[in-house]
Structure 1
Amino acid sequence: MNHLRTALLVSAAGLCTGFVHADTGKLLLTGGVSSIDGAAGGGLTPWAVIGTNATEGEMGVSAHVSRASTQDYSLNTLGVAFAFNDRLEISLARQDFDASPVTALNGLGFAVQNGQRVTMDVLGVKVKVAGDAVLDSDNWMPQIAVGVEQKSVDAGSIKPVLDFLGAKTSGTDLYVSATKLFLGQSLLLNGTLRYTNANQNGLVGFGSKAPGTNEGSWVPEVSVAYLLNKNLAIGAEYRAKPNNLRALGQSAGLGEGLQEDAWKDLFVAWAPNKHGSITLAYLDLGRVLPGVTANRSQSGYYLSAQVAF
């Protein structure tokens, strides 16, 4: 299955250079950029908008590559998305996470390899169910979409750590997003409610054994963007996390060693034309497995490039 998904990523990315499409009427940046999970929105969270440049009656495709780097970790992402009739979006992303700091657990009897990486494949489907962000910009009706993200993790030599935590290597997120665009004020607001049991978005598995939390819970995500001009937007995102492993860490005498904090960013998105955009963000991911990183808060940068047709 992983080989199939990799092949899909490569072939779909190639389509972007020769895709036949109708002339789009979609405004710059109103389709969002690509999130780390592949869905259109901000860098950290999906919006209700349908990505690519396709409008009603059209099919579109986009591809993105991104990198996030903090004091102890890095994450590379490659993804593609297809959109149909400005109503249905299908996305696929592969995340490659540098989990080298987890070798600190070898002192507890594990055998994590040096330079170990964790990969995660994310298959997403999003459907617009009500409203239109642009056409309804003169009233209070937001665009609303529902989505599902199926995630599968290959943890390599870290798999025994996930087994010890009682964390599974696959999980499903469900979400509802509402996006409101105020064109006259050059302002976009988005709220997403996500049902998930993912640990660190799934890179540390899904759920936990008792006394941790194994079942999913609803967590909020918020984005705001301001268009400085038609090509340039600035904004911020906040993504709450379920913190499934905290109680397990406390009961095992690790204190806050498995604590999971909210993710936040401040971003600048630049679209020189309708087919390309670049996003740069300052990241604050809070603590990510603080038991192996001396309780350091993880802040750094996020850089993403997208092409869309």
Structure 2
Amino acid sequence: MNHLRTALLLSAAGLCSGLAHADTGKLLLTGGVSSIDGAAGGGLTPWAVIGTNATEGEVGFSAHVSRAATQDYSLNTMGVAVGFKDRVEVSLARQDLDASPATALNGLGFNVQAGQHVKMDVLGVKVKVAGDAVLDSDSWMPQIAVGVEQKSVDAGSITPVLDFLGAKTSGTDFYVSATKLFLGQSLLVNGTLRYTNANQNGLLGFGSKAPGKNEGSWVPEVSVAYLLNKNLAVGAEYRVKPNNLEALGRASGLASGLAEDAWQDLFVAWAPNKHASVTLAYLDLGRILPAITANRSQTGFYLSAQFAF
């Protein structure tokens, strides 16, 4: 994975140097922003749009940084993406989770280090297979894309906890997204169906030993965005999670202590020009390892900046 990350970063640097910049014809914000997994879309879920400013026949580049913070956790993300001819998107994201509350597990015999961070690399590929969100805005035909995200997590001193749960340290998500832009109504609607066995998006590993769920399952994700003007959009997202570990937690006497809830947000995205955008969101990520966070729902804020060419 380190070699893949290096290769993509070098490729992106080459693009950024002026060899293949896109002279965009895209409408502002209709290409989405960078999600936490790196793919273009909303902050929490991918859309069928191809990121960067590249239109047909062009190659484009984007980069983003973001931070999410709740009562008990914080997540920093950075990533890059390359868009080819408005048809193919390749993205890479690095997530860094401050998992300090996990030291509470030491009372159960683990040895989680104070200030432990969990890091995850996400390599994504998305391909547009039908439709065009802008050109087909006067019909009912959505833009449709299929994607894959290969995830690899480094849990540090939390790795023995993943072993106890029967969770693997790598996994692959598959998804199909349909994005419909109603240009006359300034409304964008996206639906994504994801096949995954990731726990908390993969930051808590993938799958579970019995009686938890180890195999993947299909879960829906929905986004709605309203363009107040060409530079400003507001919207909401809802992402269902597979909840693989709750049954294992109940069998282990933890009640709902390993439950995983849906993620949701309310966001505002501002694009002062075609090369930059800023997204601010209010997050409700539900319970994340409620056994060690007093069953608190993790609410907070998300801030992301993206630069695209």
Query: Is the TM-score greater than 0.5?
Result: yes
Answer whether contact 2:15 2:21 (CA < 8 A) is retained.
no
Answer whether contact 1:33 1:277 (CA < 8 A) is retained.
yes
Q: Which amino acid aligns with 1:199?
A: N
Answer whether contact 1:122 1:152 (CA < 8 A) is retained.
yes
- After superposition, residues 91-106 of structure 1 pair within 5 angstroms as 91-106=91-106
Structure 1's 259 and 147: CA in aligned 2 closer, same or farther, altered over 3 A?
Answer: same
Structure 1's 22 and 198: CA in aligned 2 closer, same or farther, altered over 3 A?
Answer: closer
SS of equivalent residue, structure 2 residue 102: helix
Answer whether contact 1:67 1:75 (CA < 8 A) is retained.
yes
Structure 1's 14 and 106: CA in aligned 2 closer, same or farther, altered over 3 A?
Answer: farther
CA distance in 1 between partners of 2:52 and 2:157 (Å): 37
Of all paired residues, the percent bearing the same amino acid is: 86
Q: Give the superposition deviation at 1:257.
A: 0.4
RMSD: 1.3
Q: Which amino acid aligns with 1:23?
A: D
Q: Give the superposition deviation at 1:162.
A: 0.0
Q: Which amino acid aligns with 2:30?
A: T
SS of equivalent residue, structure 1 residue 103: helix
TM-score by length of 1: 0.97
CA distance in 1 between partners of 2:26 and 2:231 (Å): 13
CA distance in 1 between partners of 2:148 and 2:41 (Å): 14
Q: Which amino acid aligns with 2:125?
A: V
Answer whether contact 2:64 2:306 (CA < 8 A) is retained.
yes
Deviation string, structure 1 residues 80-128 (Cα, Å, up to 9, x no partner): 0001010000000000000110000000000000000000000000000
SS of equivalent residue, structure 1 residue 57: coil
The aligned residue for residue 39 of structure 1 is 39
Answer whether contact 1:16 1:307 (CA < 8 A) is retained.
no
CA distance in 1 between partners of 2:243 and 2:14 (Å): 38
Q: Which amino acid aligns with 1:67?
A: R
SS of equivalent residue, structure 2 residue 242: coil
The aligned residue for residue 57 of structure 2 is 57
Structure 1's 256 and 48: CA in aligned 2 closer, same or farther, altered over 3 A?
Answer: same
- After superposition, residues 75-224 of structure 1 pair within 5 angstroms as 75-224=75-224
Deviation string, structure 1 residues 43-68 (Cα, Å, up to 9, x no partner): 00000000000000000010000000
Answer whether contact 2:20 2:59 (CA < 8 A) is retained.
no
CA distance in 2 between partners of 1:3 and 1:84 (Å): 21
Q: Give the superposition deviation at 1:159.
A: 0.2
Answer whether contact 2:66 2:303 (CA < 8 A) is retained.
yes
CA distance in 1 between partners of 2:103 and 2:8 (Å): 32
CA distance in 1 between partners of 2:9 and 2:158 (Å): 25
Structure 1's 84 and 10: CA in aligned 2 closer, same or farther, altered over 3 A?
Answer: closer
CA distance in 2 between partners of 1:175 and 1:70 (Å): 27
Q: Are positions 1:242 and 2:234 aligned together?
A: no
The aligned residue for residue 252 of structure 1 is 252
Structure 1's 11 and 99: CA in aligned 2 closer, same or farther, altered over 3 A?
Answer: farther
Q: Gaps (5+ residues) in structure 2?
A: none
Q: Are positions 1:30 and 2:30 aligned together?
A: yes
Q: Gaps (5+ residues) in structure 1?
A: none
Answer whether contact 2:21 2:61 (CA < 8 A) is retained.
no
Structure 1's 3 and 104: CA in aligned 2 closer, same or farther, altered over 3 A?
Answer: farther
Deviation string, structure 1 residues 215-253 (Cα, Å, up to 9, x no partner): 000000000000000000000000000000000000000
CA distance in 2 between partners of 1:115 and 1:7 (Å): 30
CA distance in 1 between partners of 2:265 and 2:101 (Å): 23
Q: Which amino acid aligns with 1:265?
A: D
The aligned residue for residue 67 of structure 1 is 67
